[in-house]
Structures are given as C-alpha cells and as structure tokens.
Amino acid sequence: MDHNIDLNRKTNGKAIASLILGVLSIVTIIFGGIGVICGVVGLILGIIALKEIKRFDQEGRRMAISGIVCSIFGIVLAIFLIVISYMAFMSV
C-alpha cells in the first residue's frame, strides 16, 4: 500500500465547521432549540462539504461525515428531549 500524501490538498473549511457544529449540537441539547439549530446548520454544511471535497479534490471527507453523524445525533436527541419534557410538564 502506497500512502502518498499530497501536501497541496487543503482541508475543506465547511467540513471543519460541520464537525464543530455537530459536537456543539450534542453539547447544547440541554438548551433544546440551540442544539437543533446547531445540528441543522452542521448537517447542511456537512452535506455541502462532501460535495465540495469530491468536486475540488480536497481533504476532510471523514471530518464531514463525522459532522453529519454528530449533527443528526444532536438533532434527534434534542427533539427527543423536547418531546419528553413537553410530555412531563403536560402531565403535571
């Protein structure tokens, strides 16, 4: 296996932003809306990053995929907690 690294290839900035926002969406699930917003923006940036990485032959594919996964997890978890909180307060 030949692992030549092209030093001229740059990491896609949207992939980095997607990963950061994906992690923030998980960390901020306590605040509900903020977690969902970070997750949605991270998901969109991750999808755009994957297209740009393929088109412009850039680095960051794994980072973009990780950002997408974290964003989806953050969105689902935030919505789940919002629904559980709503049900708990409505039954009181």
| Residues 6 and 58: beta-carbon distance below 8 Å | no
Residues of the chain with pLDDT under 70: 1-7, 32, 92
Which residue range(s) make up the domain with 68? Answer: 13-90
pLDDT given at position 3 = 60
Q: What is the pLDDT of residue 41?
A: 98
Residue 29 is classified by DSSP as G
Residue 64 lies in a domain: yes
Q: Is residue 84 part of a domain?
A: yes
In a domain, 8, yes or no: no
Is 5 domain-assigned? no
Asked whether the beta carbons of 49 and 19 are under 8 A apart, the reply is: no
pLDDT at 33 (0 to 100): 83
- The pLDDT value given to residue 68: 98
Whether 21 is in a domain gets the answer yes
pTM for the model: 0.87
Count of the separate structural domains present in the chain: 1
